[in-house]
Each structure stands twice: as structure tokens, then as C-alpha cells.
Chain A
Amino acid sequence: MMSFISYFINGLSLGSVYAIIALGYTMVYGIAKMLNFAHGDVIMIGGYVVFTVVSTMGLGPVAGILLAVILCTVLGVVIEGVAYRPLRMASPLAVLITAIGVSYLLQNIALLVFGSNPKSFTSVVTVPALKLADGKLTISGETIVTIISCVIIMIGLTTFIKKTRAGQAMLAVSEDKGAAQLMGINVDGTIALTFAIGSALAAIAGALLCSAYPTLTPYTGSMPGIKAFVAAVFGGIGSIPGALIGGLLLGVIENLSKAYISSQLSDAIVFAVLIVVLLVKPTGILGKKISEKV
């Protein structure tokens, strides 16, 4: 029983990271209607910034995360402005290919700057591990912080969208870009803001991901990026609570299937579950019904 709880909590922790990354995918998709495949690599850049600030320059973890958030925000806005904005009227396929291109560009820049040798990441989390049930159950500080951060981010983001003008503008743009523009909403600005928020979250996800699984290579972001994308689709892409549910479910399913079915087949099982969910509910768990127009 204790081990089940432990598998479950570790799954929640993994799922929380997926959820934070999935938020980036889902917000950008909901508002700009594009799949930003470079999102996973922004996470990696965030990880490297924290690594450089904390381990190489010797500053504190708070400074590292702050700087990573700032740099990733700038990076996200620059990517959007340079690579995606000129393609706003182009076919969705062109944007998708561009996003994949940006992803490779970021990986190769990291490869050039930091080299491909893996770096051991010093955890930014200083919370001590929690020992429960006479030490039979240990929950690491990283796990606690990851889950709590995920919840805080989720609440913060939902409040932001519901209560602020900028958030309302995002909602409006996601409903109908053209009508929003006619109502006097700055569509380009709103999309840039979306990228800024998504990338800032990516920086936090990077720091949390690398703290829990302390290794850093230029490819660190790609697999979690794909999994988080799956989580976003799983929960219903475009939906913020969907990203949370999708991420957490994915993490828990992955860990439990590793524990009770096969440690080698966990990825296959995760993707099989995704296929089943999409067959039953093509728009994901919380996805909006897409009414077909003829």
C-alpha cells in the first residue's frame, strides 16, 4: 500500500511537470490556433539558464529562476515575432513546419553553446523530504514543490484569464480573431502576451523538471515536450483545466503502468490510452465540441 501511494505521488509529480508544460501548448493553441513544437526546447533553454546562473555563476536559485523566466519570456516573444507572426495568414501546415524548425534551431544553438555532454543539475529546491508512516513513505522536496507550484500556477492562470482585461482579450481572440479585432482588441499584442506567459511557464517547468530528474542535455526538453503535447490533447487542447487533468493523468498512468505492468512498456501504454480516449472523445476529456460547418 505504501508503495502504491509512493508510485501515485511520484506520478503526480511527473504529471505536474507535464501539466505546466502542457499549459504552454494549450494556451498557444487555444489563442493562436497553432502547435508550438518549439515549446519543449524553451524548457531546455530555461534549464540551461538556471544551470548557468546557479552552478557556474554561483548565484542563488531564486535569481536563477527569475533570470530564466525573464530570458525565456523574451525568447518566446522573439520567436513569435520573428518566426510565427509573418506566417499568421499562411496555411497552418507552414506554421507547424516553422515550429519544428525553431525547435531544431534551439537544440542546435544549445549544442553549440553548452556542448552535448550531459550536465548534472543542482536542485533549486531546498525543501527537505517528508517522511511519513515511520519513514516507510518518503516524499522528496522536489515532488512537493512541483505539485504545489502546479496548483498555484493553475489557479493564478485561471484567475488571470477570468478577472483581467488582458485575460478577457485572450478569451475573445480565442473565440474569434476577426471579431475581436473589430472590437478594438490588439490581436498581435494578445498573441505575443500568450507566448510570453507560455514561455515564462516553460522556464519554471524547466527548473522543476531538471531538479526532479537532475540531468541537462540539449535534448532534455524534447521528450517531455512531446509527452506534454499528448497531455494537452488528452485533456482537450485549448482548455486550461484540460491541460491540468491531462498532465496529471498522463503522469500517473505512466508511473503506475511502469510499476504494475511493465517498466519497458509504459510509453506504449500511455499512447494506447491516448488512442482510446481520442476514439471515444475525439476532442479530449474537456475539449469543446467542434461543430462542423458546411
Chain B
Amino acid sequence: MKKSMKKLLSLGLAIAMAASLTACGSGKASEGTTAAGTETKGEAQTTAAGGAATGEGTIKIGGIGPISGSTAIYGQAVKNGAELAVNEINANGGINGAKIEFNFQDDENDTEKSVNAYNTLKDWGMQLLVGTVTSAPCIAVGAESSNDNMFQLTPSGSAVDCTKFENQFRVCFSDPNQGAASAQYIGENKLATKVAVIYDSSDVYSSGIHDKFISEAANQGIEIASDEAFTADNNTNFSVQLQKAQDSGAELVFLPIYYSQAALILAQAKQMGYAPAFFGCDGLDGLLTVENFDTKLAENVMLLTPFAADAKDDLTQKFVTSFKEKYKETPNQFAADAYDAVYAIKAAAEKSGVTADMDASAICDKLKAAMTEISINGLTGENMKWSADGEPDKAPKAVKIVNGVYTAM
């Protein structure tokens, strides 16, 4: 009996260690050890676009992103933003006369579920893809879509490899570009000379921005006073990283991470009485919508985002008004990225004469060429152009959170 107890104990330990190891390997599954077991809410969510979008004469656009899980805010925003654009286009006569049918699938920011969602959409008859929303799933789906020669435009997948293949384009900046743009922004606006960085080394998005930021900081005369990482398995206790930042005398803490961890960092910085300036990238977008989050903690946090809902131009105003009317919330940059993505597809499709009866591969060949020829005035930038490697060309913008709302800087 005693012996079996000992065996049991060692078995239990083995399980515990194995579980923690798998959690290390799972990368972006920021939920830790038990990212499995959440297979719900995957049902199709077809938008009956414009009311009469069935049968002949419709172009089927698929969308993939997390509408549940810890990054649900992004997926939900993309879904809504794309839907809004699709409805507008359908109301104004569609693309070359063809209506758009839009179907958005949940992937919970999980690579496996994302590929499943892609296959579901293919069965549904998808002709081109707006997605996926987050980087790691986007890379996984890219391997499939390039095989199928399916045109893929991600609104917000910012990792370098999200546009690895010829069929992939993006609306947002890539991670390295965000890192470089952040360093330039901080340097040019003289926000700080001593900067501390806290990033997630187990996440491709975060480490991508981090690496480029560090190399660009030297050119901008910014001193990296402390450079600390955390991993997906150890992402609740930031006391050490913050303490090091404080000891190093950094005036600004750069957070190239997602909002759920950023909310914790802000709270813990306050607990320890540390109040530097905080600067982040588009991953911080969503910070203000964390349930029960004290928005006072986010006061004066700056973030690099191509979209500010309070901007005064007509396009933004119109978008914000109709978005608020339909979804009862203020759109964030993900919604804007998705909106621009759908309009970029429209522009490219019209330029190259895409019609509803073409198959996915033929559409892809036409759009690939047309994307490099168009220039659109979107919510996230004027005169956006694309290069053949899928990268957008537009100017970076930053916002500051003042009194709980984004304010253009």
C-alpha cells in the first residue's frame, strides 16, 4: 500500500510537470495549462448582408478571429467593423454588382481552432478571407490558404510571418514596424530618454515589437534602462519586473504586450507606488473595456494606434456614428482595421474586375496584382498603399488616454 502511494505521488508530479511543460510550449494560449476544454460557441454566424444575399451573384467573404477567450475584444471588433463595411457596400450596390455574404468564425486565439474555422469556411464556399485577427492563428491559417491560393487580408495580424506568402496582405503595421515606429515616436517627441521594457517572451507579437524597438532605440538616443520579460505561464506577478524598472530610474515603461497583462501591470505599479509614463502598441487597445477595470489606472497611458475615435475627419465621424448606433459601443482600431480591409478588397476587386462566379484561386490571382495598384483613404490612414510583400504604407499615429477616453496626440 505504501509503495503504491509513492508511485502515485511520482505519477502526480510527472503529470504536474508535463502539464506545465505543455503550457510552456503552447505559446500564445495565454490561458495557461488548460487551454483545451473550451470548445463552445463555434457556431456559424452568417450575416445576411443587405437582406438579399443568397444564391447567385454573391461574393462569399469569410472572417476568422477570437470572439471568445482572453482576446475576444479584438475578434468582436473586427467582426463588427467588417460587418458594418459589408452592409454599407451591399446597400450601395455591392462589388461590381455582386452582393457580399460575410461569415465570421470564432477561433479563441488558438491556432488549431483557427485552422478548423478556415476549413469550415471553405466548406461553406468562402472565396476570400478577411483574417485572421491575431498573429499566431494567422500564421497557421496562412500555411493552408497559400496552399489553396485563397486571398487573405488580415486586418490586425501583425507578426512578420502573417504576410509570409504571396496571397497574404495586412492592414495594420507589422510588429517590427510598430517597434520601430514606437521608438521613433518616443524619440522624436522627446517623451523620455531612459526607457524600461516589459514584454512577453513567449509571444511572437510581443517579442517581435520588442526586438525592433531595442535596435531602433539606439538610433533615437533612447537608453534602455531595464529590459525584462515574462512568459505565458508566469504572467500575473510583475513585482520583480516593475521593481527593476523603478530601480533603473526609467521615466517611461514600454509595454509591447496585450491589454490583459497591461491591466495587471498598471494595477501592480500602483500598489507599489510607481508612476512612470506608460507607452504601448495596438495590443493595449481594449484596456478600457476590461470588466471592472479602474480606468483611472490607465490615465495618461499612451499607445500607438492608427485610429482614434475622436478624430474630426468626416470618414471617422461617419464610421463612429454608425458603429455606435449598431453595436452600442465606441469602435477601436481593430474595428477600423477590419472596415478598411473590406474597403481595400472592394477597391482591389473593382480594379481587377472580380465577379461572383470566379473561384477562390482566380480571385486570389487578380487581387494579388490589384492590391499593389490601389490607394485608398481609410480610417487608419490616408493614401494607404500596399507593396507586393503584403505590407501597408501609411503614417503612424499615437493616442493618449485622458479621462478614460482616447485623445489624439
Docked Cα-Cα span, A217 to B70, in Å, equals 8
Docked Cα-Cα span, A212 to B272, in Å, equals 11
> Which of A51, A120, A219 makes the CB contact (< 8 A) with B34?
A219
> Which of A116, A121, A237 makes the CB contact (< 8 A) with B9?
A237
The answer to the question of B40 belonging to the interface, with a C-beta cut-off of 8 Å to chain A, is yes
Q: Which of the candidate stretches B18-26, B53-61, B392-400 sits at the interface with the other chain?
A: B18-26
The reply to whether A226 and B201 form a contact with Cβ atoms under 8 Å apart is no
Distance in Å: Cβ of B389 to nearest Cβ of chain A: 31
Q: A92-B5, A264-B201 are in contact. Are A138 and B273 (CB under 8 A)?
A: yes
The reply to whether A111 and B264 form a contact with Cβ atoms under 8 Å apart is no
In the complex, chain A residues 187-235 whose Cβ is within 8 Å of any chain B Cβ:
212-215, 217, 219, 222-223, 226, 229-230, 233
The answer to the question of B31 belonging to the interface, with a C-beta cut-off of 8 Å to chain A, is yes
The reply to whether A111 and B38 form a contact with Cβ atoms under 8 Å apart is yes
Which single residue of chain A is at the shortest CB-CB distance from B241?
A263
Distance in Å: Cβ of A291 to nearest Cβ of chain B: 7
Q: What interface size band does chain B fall in?
A: 35 or more
Task: Determine the main DSSP class of B at the interface with A.
Answer: helix
Q: What interface size band does chain A fall in?
A: 35 or more
Distance in Å: Cβ of B269 to nearest Cβ of chain A: 11
The reply to whether A217 and B240 form a contact with Cβ atoms under 8 Å apart is no
- Interface flags for B53-88 (1: CB within 8 Å of A; 0: not) read 000000000000000111011000000000000000
Docked Cα-Cα span, A73 to B201, in Å, equals 39
Q: A138-B272, A140-B272, A215-B260 are in contact. Are A119 and B290 (CB under 8 A)?
A: yes
> Which of A92, A112, A258, A278 makes the CB contact (< 8 A) with B4?
A92
Distance in Å: Cβ of A105 to nearest Cβ of chain B: 9
Q: A116-B38, A259-B244 are in contact. Are A226 and B271 (CB under 8 A)?
A: no
The reply to whether B243 and A108 form a contact with Cβ atoms under 8 Å apart is no
Set of chain B residues within 8 Å of A131, measured between Cβ atoms: 273
Distance in Å: Cβ of A191 to nearest Cβ of chain B: 16
The reply to whether A293 and B2 form a contact with Cβ atoms under 8 Å apart is yes
The reply to whether B37 and A108 form a contact with Cβ atoms under 8 Å apart is yes
The reply to whether B292 and A55 form a contact with Cβ atoms under 8 Å apart is yes
Interface residues of A (CB under 8 A from B): 3, 6-7, 10, 14, 33, 35, 37, 51, 55, 92-93, 96, 100, 103-104, 107-108, 111-112, 115-122, 129, 131, 135, 138, 140-142, 212-215, 217, 219, 222-223, 226, 229-230, 233, 237, 254-255, 258-259, 263-264, 266-267, 271, 278, 290-293
Known interface pairs A120-B292, A222-B32, A233-B13; 4 further A-B residue pairs with C-beta atoms within 8 A, sorted by A's residue number: A96-B12, A223-B234, A267-B20, A293-B1
Q: Which 5 A-B pairs have the closest CB atoms?
A: A213-B236, A120-B293, A140-B271, A10-B239, A258-B240
Interface residues of B (CB under 8 A from A): 1-6, 8-9, 11-13, 15-17, 19-20, 23-24, 31-35, 37-38, 40, 68-70, 72-73, 108, 201-202, 228-231, 233-234, 236-237, 239-241, 243-244, 247, 260, 263-264, 267-268, 271-273, 290-294
| Sampled A-B contacts (30; CB under 8 Å) | A7-B240, A10-B239, A14-B237, A51-B292, A92-B8, A117-B69, A117-B73, A118-B290, A119-B290, A119-B291, A120-B292, A140-B271, A213-B236, A214-B264, A217-B31, A217-B70, A219-B34, A222-B32, A222-B34, A223-B23, A226-B20, A233-B9, A255-B237, A255-B239, A258-B240, A263-B230, A264-B231, A266-B234, A267-B231, A271-B20
